[in-house]
Amino acid sequence: MAITSERIDELTGRMGRAKIMILGDIMLDEYLFGSVSRISPEAPVPVVEITSSKHLLGGAANVANNIRTLGDDPVLIGAIGLDEPGSKLKGLLRERSISPTYLITDGSRQTTSKTRVIAHNQQVVRADREHRHALAHDIEAKVREGFMSMIDEVAAVIISDYGKGVITPSLLETVIDICNKKDKFVAVDPKETNFPNYRQVSLITPNHHEAGFAYGRRIISEADLLEVGHGLLERLDAMSILITRGPDGMSLFQRGGEPTHIPTFGRQVYDVTGAGDTVIATFVSSVAADANLVEAAIIANAAAGVTIGEIGTASVTVRELTKSLKYNVRNGNLITADVAK
């Protein structure tokens, strides 16, 4: 299957008009930029002289940022701590016109924050500050209330599970059940340990390591890929599974259809941070614009190709996405192929 320039115009012309809910683990990403010119006399480690810094939205908040950049209206739901990172995160959301209304403050946990030190365009070290315990029942109830109050107003739901405690089994069961009853497209960016609970979703987007771990078979060959993809699809009774494979592209498995491989196209890779957020956000935005699953996967693949060329979590506009898609159509890079059976 190939996607044409005319179809690209049709789909991207409809993107950016939907209200999409993002439910999950919200994070603050801090980047410290500098240079290395010497090794520490205290230990065999580089001394990074910091020259600049920036804060970005991470986790589910980065998914919401991707949705906003595409022009859609994100509804972000989750929990943060009563702390400075939480306040900074709210400020960043407001700057991006993303409402913090449904962010529940949990005084028993700190806002997840990740500090990355970057020198000469390479990450030197990452330091995490977080609590990963499951939400208390009263906090979970407030998150559930936020979900229930907005579910009828959104076109789709994205569950962004980083394993930080917001996506509990009971909350997940409620969300998926309600989405299916109300015929809402529900997509999951998964955490390996929670895989058995992602049943009957519309889409799940593991990378090949996560998919292999969840199924119990490492993906080394195409035969492994087929077994894992078909096996997870059946085990989870899901509508579709998109397995991202790094430089090997993406493979889409869908109920009642043949598996499809979307090859990657050449791009200088600077940073894959947040690439999964871009993939799921763009896929769901495309589906909300009436793309079929293969078309949505092609569009998401193109979006990821744009963002990995930037340092830090990044997002892509519809204009940038259209330009990338058309460039790759001209170069024959967006032709998909059935995965060998």
277 is catalytic: yes
What's this model's pTM, rounded to 2 decimal places?
0.93
286 located within any domain: yes
Asked whether residue 265 carries a pLDDT value surpassing 80, the answer given is no
Asked whether residue 248 carries a pLDDT value surpassing 90, the answer given is no
105 located within any domain: yes
Share of the chain above pLDDT 90, in %: 80
pLDDT band at 273 (very low <50, low <70, confident <90, very high): low
- Domain hosting residue 189, numbered range: 5-334
Catalytic member of 106, 277, 290, 338: 277
Closest listed residue to residue 103, CA positions, set 17, 208, 204, 22 = 22
In this prediction, residue 268 carries a pLDDT of 52
Asked whether residue 99 carries a pLDDT value surpassing 50, the answer given is yes
In this prediction, residue 108 carries a pLDDT of 92
In the chain, count H helices and then E strands. 10, 14
339 located within any domain: no
Alpha carbons 19 and 187: distance in angstroms, whole number: 14
In this prediction, residue 195 carries a pLDDT of 92
- What is the 3 state secondary structure string of 166-205? CCCHHHHHHHHHHHHHCCCEEEEECCHHHHHHCCCCCEEC
In this prediction, residue 269 carries a pLDDT of 45
CB 201 within 8 A of CB 190: no
Alpha carbons 237 and 105: distance in angstroms, whole number: 34
Alpha carbons 231 and 227: distance in angstroms, whole number: 6
pLDDT band at 311 (very low <50, low <70, confident <90, very high): low
Which of 49-63, 105-119, 311-325 is least confident? 311-325
Burial code (b: 16+ CB inside 10 Å, e: under 16) for 144-174 equals bebbeebbeebbbbbbbbbebbbbbeebbee
Asked whether residue 76 carries a pLDDT value surpassing 70, the answer given is yes
pLDDT digits (tens, 9 = 90+) for 205-218: 999 999 999 999 99
pLDDT digits (tens, 9 = 90+) for 101-149: 999 999 999 999 999 999 998 899 999 999 999 999 999 999 999 999 9
125 located within any domain: yes
Closest listed residue to residue 102, CA positions, set 141, 62, 142, 64 = 142
Share of the chain above pLDDT 70, in %: 91
Alpha carbons 62 and 281: distance in angstroms, whole number: 9
In this prediction, residue 271 carries a pLDDT of 46
- Look at the chain and report how many structural domains it folds into: 1
Asked whether residue 179 carries a pLDDT value surpassing 60, the answer given is yes
340 located within any domain: no
341 located within any domain: no
Closest listed residue to residue 273, CA positions, set 153, 167, 141, 122 = 122
169 located within any domain: yes
- Residue 218 has a CB neighbour count (10 Å cut-off) of 13
Asked whether residue 223 carries a pLDDT value surpassing 60, the answer given is yes
Which of 54-58, 136-140, 310-314 is least confident? 310-314
What's the mean pLDDT in 39-55? 96
What's the mean pLDDT in 2-7? 86
Query: Domain of 85: which CATH number?
Result: 3.40.1190.20
Alpha carbons 117 and 126: distance in angstroms, whole number: 6
234 located within any domain: yes
Asked whether residue 334 carries a pLDDT value surpassing 80, the answer given is no
What's the mean pLDDT in 161-186? 97
